[in-house]
Structure 1
């Protein structure tokens, strides 16, 4: 009898978990951007994968990851071909998102984007920035006015390696990207690294999980980020994700 009462006491929670456990398709970026994310042999990897997997396991959901080129990812997301988009940010493609009721999570990861230069150019200011490189699909927000006015030529490339080579060979004056991604590219490399210049305009921001049709899961994700803050920090530490401005 005692065993039966115990089973009955647990049953509502089990049924609730089963009721709320679902399978979702998460659209992710098909590009190398470690330590945040990467795709190898069709498999989504990096901090984003570990974080979302931990949340799915905690909640009882199953996430199927769909790596897509950046532009197609937004299109598939807005047209309900994927349930979630990661990473996302309310400022990204704001014009294309008009008319859609998007739901954004709490911040899932810090993301500072700024200009990296050769060490000898550190602290020389923005007057020397005539050719600025960035990855295709990225928007150098702090420099848009200068780009539109023709004061800065924006050069885009599909591969980060190409941008780094152009900067090291002085074909561009700086690279606008996330400093931690650049540090990861140069990790264990004998090649001299570019350095983040905090005196140049930068964007201090975060990555978010977004959804149109599943605000309830976004709320679950927010609760997970709060209740499992120690686990989330452990994942950040494991992947070397921190605030690049700390100690500046």
Structure 2
């Protein structure tokens, strides 16, 4: 059975339960599947499932094995994902990616008083273990910048406040949430002098490209809900820039 929009519905796809592989880290308010708590991504995916007659289970997987999830784990989908995080391999081309669910800003979060510091000021950066230091590869290779990584977002924010790192490569909404959870009165901002990029979170699959089509249709029809969800979780609404990678 096909919907009026030409997208298969859940009954036609013969798939009722979706297993989604997710990162085993706390990156709230975007996601934190280490505990059963509402988050932006869970609100969106759960709403899609409810609207289309699916049920969902989330399987937290090691971020350092991220590129292998869809090939070595018994999951149907991967979230978050993004085409630009993968090399252009034959296997990668077999994956189907959804449209952008929402956009985020990749930048370096610093103490407010350091937001205009020149690039030469930054000698040590905090980063979540397993994340790719896309904006700093040349400086790391030359030894100009050292990376202090940790699996705990909260620990990285502590390091920033205590001066153990000069900045943390993290989303500002995430940084502010964990700062508040620590009860620390401090102001944070993106560095004005360091590179920033706009990118998106996408859903990916090998098994069910038709459900990706269905999800894309749902995204297009639920823009008001998506925007309201960003507001609910106090996340800035970012817009894609011309020729930006998804």
Q: Scaled by the length of structure 1, what TM-score is found?
A: 0.84
Task: Say whether the 8 Å CA contact 1:28–1:73 is kept in structure 2.
Answer: no
Distance 1:86 1:17 in 2: 20
Any gaps of 5 or more consecutive residues in structure 2? 1-8, 240-246
The one of 33, 37, 47 equivalent to 2:27 is 33
The one of 171, 178, 185 equivalent to 1:185 is 178
5 Å matches for 1:89-104?
89-94=82-87, 98-100=90-92, 101-104=94-97
Task: Say whether the 8 Å CA contact 2:22–2:58 is kept in structure 1.
Answer: yes
Partner of 1:124: 117
Task: Say whether the 8 Å CA contact 1:39–1:45 is kept in structure 2.
Answer: no
SS across alignment from 2:164: coil
1:156/1:75 CA distance change after superposition, 3 Å: same
1:98/1:153 CA distance change after superposition, 3 Å: farther
1:58/1:186 CA distance change after superposition, 3 Å: same
1:76/1:99 CA distance change after superposition, 3 Å: closer
Partner of 2:191: 197
How far is the alpha carbon of 1:191 from its aligned partner?
Answer: 2.7
Partner of 1:238: 232
How far is the alpha carbon of 1:94 from its aligned partner?
Answer: 2.6
Partner of 2:11: 18
How far is the alpha carbon of 1:51 from its aligned partner?
Answer: 0.3
Task: Say whether the 8 Å CA contact 2:128–2:153 is kept in structure 1.
Answer: yes
Max radius of gyration: which structure?
A: 1
SS across alignment from 2:137: helix
Distance 1:203 1:226 in 2: 24
Matched, 1:154 2:166: no
Task: Say whether the 8 Å CA contact 1:44–1:65 is kept in structure 2.
Answer: no
1:166/1:49 CA distance change after superposition, 3 Å: same
Alpha-carbon RMSD across the aligned residues, in angstroms, is: 2.2
Distance 2:190 2:85 in 1: 23
Query: Which one is further off, 107-116 or 214-223?
Result: 107-116
Q: Scaled by the length of structure 2, what TM-score is found?
A: 0.85
Distance 1:77 1:26 in 2: 10
Matched, 1:59 2:52: yes
Distance 1:17 1:27 in 2: 20
How far is the alpha carbon of 1:82 from its aligned partner?
Answer: 0.7
How far is the alpha carbon of 1:40 from its aligned partner?
Answer: 4.5
How far is the alpha carbon of 1:80 from its aligned partner?
Answer: 4.9
Partner of 1:12: none
Task: Say whether the 8 Å CA contact 1:110–1:205 is kept in structure 2.
Answer: yes
Partner of 1:207: 201
